[in-house]
């Protein structure tokens, strides 16, 4: 309802004696106080995470200063140790809700430091952490660690880190299995895997939509649609090495995303779908019509196409997503 409708409703209720001035004032104060409290909570979260990032930079600077003076055992201690300590502190603080995002800040430190610590541990043990088989092991260990912690703490940040490490594991394992000479070209192989990751993110976003994890849906819809449509557009290639199949299929995929944005009431899907529809129209215009129509006319057509996409996006948002 707009402001005028609300005021008219309040007037009717007050005239009927069903709404007192005290009730109206109490409701107003409650809303204002709640908004202030929410802003303060958000500020605290930002400061927690900024502090966590500064801690990681400090740890890195300290280790870099003394690295050459340390032996193999101490290399492991100063890299893996802080990550494990931050993870344990994160679990302890995360179970105390009154501390807000303090636990999540320590989980951020752990997520940034533990991969380095595990890689250094393998390197000092004589293995090669840059090889895909060991990257697969590291990423799977981290997925299991953060997923298990999520079952204990139920912090959404843990789920984000687990999904991120699972993505790393997927790329490492598939690259390891395919070997140095995959069936597709190296770039094309990466694009198909990115396509699969995008679909997985979209599926997770849909699964989380009506659960306590629904706050992650928009994030996953954004990254999932970016990965999915970005990979599909890239697979289409560019003339004269274009892939006709993907160029023909791509607009259908975009309209599926736009339809899903209306059905799921997702502004993230609408924004990304509109962005890629505009990109596709500009790409096709410049790829196939620039030589026949001339560069100037191709630009005019591209501009009109962008305006059309903008109008379509505005109409969909106003009609279906502003409820």
What secondary structure, in 3-state letters, does the chain show? CCHHHHHHHHHHHHHCCCCCHHHHHHHHHHHHHHHHHHHHHHHHHHHHHHHHHHHHHHHHHHHHHHHHHCCHHHHHHHHHHHHHHHHHHHHHHHCCHHHCCHHHHHHHHHHHHHHHHHHHHHHHCCCCCCCHHHHHHHHHHHHHHHHHHHHHHCCHHHHHHHHHHHHHHHHHHHHHHHCCCCCCCHHHHHHHHHHHHHHHHHHHHHHHCCCCCHHHHHHHHHHHHHHHHHHHHHHCCCCCCCCHHHHHHHHHHHHHHHHHHHHHCCHHHHHHHHHHHHHHHHHHHHHHHHHHHCHHHHHHHHHHHHHHHHHHHHHHHHHHHCC
Which band of pLDDT confidence, cut at 50, 70 and 90, is reported for residue 142?
very high
pLDDT of 222-248, one tens digit each? 999 999 999 999 998 877 778 889 988
- pLDDT score recorded for residue 296: 63
Query: 140-144, 196-200, 290-294: which range is least confident on average?
Result: 290-294
Task: Assign 165 a pLDDT band (cuts: 50, 70, 90).
Answer: very high
Q: What's the pLDDT at 21?
A: 64
Q: Which of 34-43, 80-89, 273-282 shows the lowest per-residue confidence on average (mean pLDDT)?
A: 34-43
**Once rounded to an integer, what is the mean pLDDT over residues 15-33?**
58
In this structure, the dihedral spanned by the alpha carbons of residues 291, 292, 297 and 298, taken in order and rounded to 10 degrees, is: -50
Phi, psi of 163 (to 5 degrees): -65, -40
User: What per-residue confidence (pLDDT) applies to 309?
Assistant: 74
> What does residue 143 show for φ and ψ, rounded to 5 degrees?
-60, -50
Confidence of residue 48 (pLDDT cuts 50, 70, 90): low
Tens-digit pLDDT profile for residues 121-137: 999 999 999 999 999 99
Predicted confidence at residue 320, as pLDDT, reads 66
Q: What is the pLDDT of residue 242?
A: 82
Number of residues assigned to the chain: 323
Please provide the average confidence, as pLDDT, over all residues in the chain: 80
Confidence of residue 5 (pLDDT cuts 50, 70, 90): low
Q: How far is CA 82 from the centre of its chain?
A: 26
Q: For residue range 61-110, what is the model confidence (pLDDT) as tens digits?
A: 878 888 888 888 999 998 899 899 989 988 888 777 655 566 788 888 89
Task: Give the angle subtended at the CA of 265 by the CAs of 276 and 8, to the nearest 5°.
Answer: 130
**Per-residue tokens: 299:** 């630009």
Torsion angle defined by CA atoms of residues 32, 34, 38 and 41, in that order, rounded to the nearest 10 degrees? 120
Tokens of 75: 């290399």
pLDDT at 117: 93
Segments making up each domain of the chain, as ranges:
49-180, 181-323
């Amino acid at each position: 309802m707009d402001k005028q409708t609300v005021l008219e409703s309040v007037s009717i209720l007050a005239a009927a004696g069903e709404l007192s001035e005290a009730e109206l004032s109490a409701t107003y104060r409650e809303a204002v106080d709640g908004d202030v409290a929410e802003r303060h909570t958000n500020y605290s979260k930002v400061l927690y995470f900024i502090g966590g990032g500064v801690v990681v930079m400090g740890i890195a600077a300290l280790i870099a200063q003394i690295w050459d003076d340390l032996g193999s055992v101490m290399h492991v201690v100063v890299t893996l140790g802080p990550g494990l300590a931050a993870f344990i502190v994160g679990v302890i603080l995360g179970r105390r809700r009154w501390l807000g995002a303090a636990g999540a800040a320590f989980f951020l430190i752990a997520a940034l430091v533990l991969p380095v610590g595990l890689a250094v541990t393998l390197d000092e043990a004589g293995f090669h952490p840059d090889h895909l088989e060991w990257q697969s092991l590291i990423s799977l260990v981290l997925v299991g660690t953060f997923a298990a912690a999520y079952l204990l703490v139920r912090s959404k940040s843990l789920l984000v880190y687990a999904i991120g490490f699972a993505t790393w594991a997927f790329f490492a394992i598939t690259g390891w299995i395919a070997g140095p000479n995959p069936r597709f070209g190296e770039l094309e192989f990466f694009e198909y895997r990115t396509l699969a990751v995008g679909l997985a993110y979209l599926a997770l976003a849909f699964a989380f939509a009506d659960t306590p994890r629904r706050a992650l849906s928009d994030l996953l819809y954004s990254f999932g649609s970016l990965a999915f449509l970005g990979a599909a557009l890239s697979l289409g290639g560019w003339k004269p090495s274009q892939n006709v199949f993907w160029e023909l299929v791509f607009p259908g995929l975009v309209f599926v995303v736009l339809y899903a944005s209306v059905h799921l009431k997702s502004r993230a899907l609408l924004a990304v779908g509109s962005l890629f529809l505009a990109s596709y129209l500009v790409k096709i215009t410049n790829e196939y019509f620039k030589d026949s129509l001339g560069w100037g006319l191709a630009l005019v057509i591209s501009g009109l196409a962008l305006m059309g996409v903008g109008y379509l996006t505005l109409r969909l948002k106003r009609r279906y997503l502003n409820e």
